[in-house]
A and B are shown apart, each in its own frame.
Chain A
Amino acid sequence: MLKNVHFGPSVLPFLLVLPQIAVTLVFFIWPASQALYQSVLLEDAFGLKTEFVWFRNFEELFSDPHYWSSFEITVVFSFLVAFLAMSFALVLALLADRVIKGSGTYRTLLIWPYAVAPVTAGALWVFMFNPTLGIVAYALSALGYEWNHQLNGGEAMALVVMASAWKQVAYNFLFFLAGLQSIPKSLIEAAAIDGAGPGRRTIDIILPLLSPTTFFLLVINIVFAFFETFGVIHAVTAGGPAGATNILVYKVFNDGFVGLDLGGSAAQSVILMIIVIGLTVVQFKYIEKKVSY
């Protein structure tokens, strides 16, 4: 933590940490405590009267079927995004690790969607699936399937899942490939000498050795799906149709800035904070232990 050789006490270290501490206090600690405080207040729509209501905002939230359905949607959405993005990336990484020639080229060709903003990714996918014009919707209707994500909740969900997973594949691929390349070649060779073919080796040796990477990516992907997909949702469906893609982060924004329900929105923020802290703790615990065999 601290260097064995270090400088003695003076004012200087305080000056050095000052900018970061100031920014943290003003834009982080203060707003977060405000969110905590507002979550136990009830404010009327004009902001004239506020009343201390203990946990009523939370009680209302938990008895609100819309909140629970949003919760459910978020869980389904995160699971689908994580599963799709990770399995696709894993297959590609396994293949890229196999080929000797050109794995660098494949890496270059596969990682750049990381740089695309979620809202831009949303715009691309909404264009491809536009019910009247979109090229994929056209192909689907030629096959006899009428696609309209503006009316059909399931299709809307599928579209936001695809757009989000598409963006996340690049990241997962990079980490899976790095994980695969750090597996000692001697283990693979030993298995091959014992007569294990490529499929056997993948299942019995490579995948178990890859489990730390997989677990790490699972947490990262869930965090991504929970929080960073706001742009995708906002561009593609705006939470619709009829709340079918209204994930928690979108609901906080919508209730707070559009519905002006400050107490309810703050209570939702607090719950989200608890979720993030939980996920972070899980991740740190794991990083200390490192799942291994």
Chain B
Amino acid sequence: MVENRPLLTLFSHIMLILGVAVIALPIWIMFVAASHPDIRMTQVPLPILPGGYFFENLDIALNRGLSGQSGQGVAHMMVNSLIMAMMIAVGKIAISLLSAFAIVYFRFPFRMFFFWMIFVTLMLPVEVRILPTYEVVANLGMLDTYWGLSIPLIASATATFMFRQVFLTIPDEMLEAARIDGAGPMRFFWDILIPMSRTNIAALFVILFIYGWNQYLWPLLITSEPQMYTVVMGIKQMLEAAEQAPEWNVIMMTALLAMLPPICVVIFMQSLFVKGLTETEK
């Protein structure tokens, strides 16, 4: 702040509060809808203040699901989403750490070839190669499995790049010292590299967890058994059912449940989240 202009500051605060209100409006409406009984949700105009039916709806959404459907609650979908998100995040971090370590710390034949091969995967999101990737997964018999849900999404280069950058900033003296003390490559990796990139790993984990949890197109394609559905998919199916029998209270409760874990991650691990975002993109 260069000069003191109280009116301009006041104006800024007012505009910011308005901005926050616009951004928060959909969430507020969702929360209100999730706290009213289904009968109230069919009467126009819909309420704009929360009702007292929140925990009943929570129970319905988790354990029973929409009344028109086969009584599928979303509890197991939440578990599936969690497993998928964890597998994607941990898998990506693990294979990227290893390959970045190899590319930065070893001189070996085809090193640049491997580097470029990983590099091309940066370019193509899963959306543009869905059909052939689907065929591969089908041929490997991985439809309707956690492996099929997660492994194809592990193939991406962003994490490798980030770890490569991190390793390049670690001083050479670390390796020299480790060698003098008689440490082999894997010892060096475990006892020096991993501890030194701890915060980067955590930051990346936050980003990848959100990425994995929010996957939609891929789970939609490769799961056909309700047992394997993820919660983000569940919302879409409920929306389809809503065209006949709208139970918006349950749908909005499901939406709330689907966004709660990633939002908690963003809010409670904000500094790691910001670090992860800015470092993976550049």
Contacts and interface: CB of A to CB of B under 8 A. Distances in A.
B56 interface: no
Contact of B270 (A108, A133, A192, A269): A108
Interface residues of A, number: 101
A32 B130 CA distance: 9
26 contacts: A3-B167, A4-B172, A6-B105, A16-B98, A19-B98, A30-B132, A31-B129, A31-B132, A34-B132, A106-B20, A107-B270, A114-B210, A116-B214, A117-B262, A123-B236, A123-B251, A135-B48, A138-B46, A192-B3, A228-B125, A231-B216, A235-B239, A253-B127, A257-B131, A269-B129, A276-B128
A166 B21 CA distance: 12
Nearest to A150: B243
A115 to B, nearest CB: 4
Interface stretch (B26-34, B66-74, B194-202): B26-34
Contacts of A38: 131-132
Given A98-B12, A106-B20, A120-B259, A230 B216 contact: yes
Interface string A177-202: 01000000000110010000010000
Interface string A30-71: 111011001000000000000000000000000000000000
A174 interface: yes
A76 interface: no
B210 to A, nearest CB: 5
Nearest to A106: B16
Given A166-B23, A166-B26, A174-B277, A17 B107 contact: no
Q: Which of B96, B98, B246 has the largest number of chain A CB atoms within 10 A?
A: B98
A230 B217 CA distance: 7
B266 A112 contact: yes
Nearest to A23: B155
Secondary structure dominating the interface of B: helix
B235 A20 contact: no
Interface in B172-228: 172, 175-176, 185-186, 210, 213-214, 216-217, 221
A19 B12 contact: no
Interface string B59-93: 00000000000000000000000000000000000
Interface of A: 1-10, 12-14, 16-17, 19-21, 23-24, 26-32, 34-35, 38, 88, 91-92, 95-96, 98-100, 102, 106-121, 123-128, 132-135, 138, 166, 169-171, 174-175, 178, 188-189, 192, 198, 216, 220, 223, 227-228, 230-231, 234-235, 249, 252-253, 256-257, 262, 265-266, 269, 272-273, 276-277, 280, 287
